Amino acid sequence: MLRERRLYRAGAAEALEALARLDVNYAPPPGPLPYWNAGWSLDALRCPVAREPSGDPVPGGAWQIACRLVRDFQFVEPRILRALYRPGDPLPGRNMLLEGRFLGLRFDMGVRVTSVVDGTFGTGTAARRVWGWTYRTLQGHLEEGDLTYLVVKHLATGDVEFRISGRSRRAPIANPVVRLGFEAFGRATQHRFLRAAARRLVLLVRAELRGAPVLGVERVPGDESLAIAPALPLSSPARRGRPARARRA
């Protein structure tokens, strides 16, 4: 139970507040290429979400639903990653305490939202409405790098897609066991995270379009200013405060 409820405890809130005193843990490469000379890995994923009528996003449609889920960090796979943050903070500059989950282990990692994209780009058949944000890793994170999450509507066709892109490399890790584990499984876990996030976003958007209840932000009992994402079902042992069955991360 304690392991499943780590983000609900006072220590997690304290760790989140401590992120404000940390800096980003890397300097971006001076140019776009060649990343591999400095050990950088690049990731890019594009996933169709749904289709709505052409033109501006439809109120309550796929684009707006996807934007809300991305804003609230509801799209990530909770068996891989969960996050603690203050939803009342402005998105640019927001700190998030990520809890990485792997083979029963838990790793706390801080990130900061450093930029937000919100606008219409291109003209004619290439016009697209884009919203999303980027976070960068903070000191103490197992990685160095950034991830960008974008929800894109192609205005000419009505197609809505989800895009994830980023760059990363292993940060200095003092613990030799953790370092060895990251070297052996880090990239595979990153790829699994990206695929699972895209798949979950599509499922959540399409379910809501069919009338499923809106997945609201889960507040921390005793401190309503804190949120944990993604939200777990009310039947979850972590939500009820009961021991959870063993499960693979």
Residue 244, in any domain of the structure: no
Mind giving me the DSSP string for 131-194? EEEEEEEBTT-SEEEEEEEEEEEETTT-EEEEEEEEEEEEPP---HHHHHHHHHHHHHHHHHHH
Domain around 194: 6-24+38-232
Residue type, 2: L
Q: Which two tokens stand for residue 155?
A: 């205005």
Q: Assess whether pLDDT exceeds 90 at residue 227.
A: yes
Rounded mean pLDDT, 180-203: 84
> Lowest mean pLDDT: which of 176-190, 210-224, 235-249?
235-249
Calculate mean pLDDT across residues 209-235.
87
Mean pLDDT of 96-119: 89
237 occurs within a structural domain: no
- The domain spanning residue 83 has which CATH number? 3.30.530.20
Amino acid in position 49:
V
Please tell me the total count of domains within the chain. 1
Inside any domain, residue 29: no
Confidence of residue 182 (pLDDT cuts 50, 70, 90): low
pLDDT on residue 61: 97
pTM of the model: 0.88
**Within a domain: 143:** yes
Report residue 51 as tokens.
């289709």
Between 98 and 239, name the one with better pLDDT: 98
Number of residues written out for the chain: 249
Question: Does 161 reside within a domain?
Answer: yes
Give the model's pLDDT for residue 153: 98
**Is residue 239 a part of any domain in this protein?**
no
| Structure confidence at residue 122 (pLDDT) | 95
Would you say residue 90 lies in a domain? yes
Q: Of 19-33, 99-113, 127-141, which one has max mean pLDDT?
A: 127-141
